[in-house]
Amino acid sequence: MARHVLSFRDDTRGVAAIEFAFIAAPLAGLMVAILQTSLTFFAQQTLETTAEKSVRKLITGEAQKASMTAAQFKTLVCTKLPSFMKCDNVYVDVTSAVSFASIATSAPTITFDGDGKVTNSFAFTPGGPGSINIVRIMYAWDVQAGPFGFDLATMSNKKRLLYATAVFKTEPYT
């Protein structure tokens, strides 16, 4: 290995440097793309863990017995997020269903007005004891367009919509 490094240094023709210059830009672009993809997957997994921890209060009926509001549940979700994720980018949708088959399985979407404010109205209607619920926690993750057109954004404002879904039947609490 040391011999190769020394031969690179002693090479006066400059061929090695020119060859590296050909691959330097694609290599840097690939590294940026890998980093951005890794961070996005990490944020997605963090959101999944947050959802898993947050729905516990709904499963046990604690939230329903305390008459928890949508804002209070969102605050609960935000306390479980790591510090690199902002609460302003979190959206929560909680609904109940009659059966597991009747649950909407389409991916959630977020729409914005001309000022960039969210126009969706998300529900917070958890069911009672023994009910089937679906909780969708969405997060607008900031992404930057990478080199060579690599872009993970799925929304118009350079953000990617990450979401975690939990479907469960509440315990028969009283």
Q: Using 50, 70 and 90 to split pLDDT, how confident is the model at 40?
A: very high
Q: Taking residues 120-131, report their average pLDDT.
A: 93
Q: Taking residues 133-157, report their average pLDDT.
A: 83
Say if residue 11's pLDDT is above 70. no
Residue 12 is predicted with a pLDDT of 67
Say if residue 147's pLDDT is above 70. no
More confident residue, 106 or 78: 78
DSSP state letter for 147: G
Say if residue 150's pLDDT is above 80. no
3-class DSSP state for residue 155? Answer: coil
Residue 118 is predicted with a pLDDT of 85
Residue 14 is predicted with a pLDDT of 75
3-class DSSP state for residue 51? Answer: helix
Closest Cα partner for 164 from 65, 102, 97, 93? 93
Give the ranges where 55-107 is alpha helix by DSSP (H): 56-59, 62-65, 70-80
DSSP state letter for 141: E
DSSP sequence for 95-126: EEESSGGGS--SPP---B-TTS-B-----B--
Say if residue 15's pLDDT is above 90. no
Say if residue 49's pLDDT is above 80. yes
Q: How far is CA 91 from CA 15, 32, 88, 101, 139, in A?
A: 55, 28, 8, 24, 6
Global confidence as pTM:
0.81
Contact 173, 147 (CB under 8 A): no
DSSP sequence for 9-35: HH--S-HHHHHHHHHHHHHHHHHHHHH
Q: Which residues is 112 bridged to in the sheet?
A: 118
Q: Taking residues 43-57, report their average pLDDT.
A: 97
Q: Using 50, 70 and 90 to split pLDDT, how confident is the model at 24?
A: very high
Q: Taking residues 47-52, report their average pLDDT.
A: 97
Say if residue 29's pLDDT is above 90. no
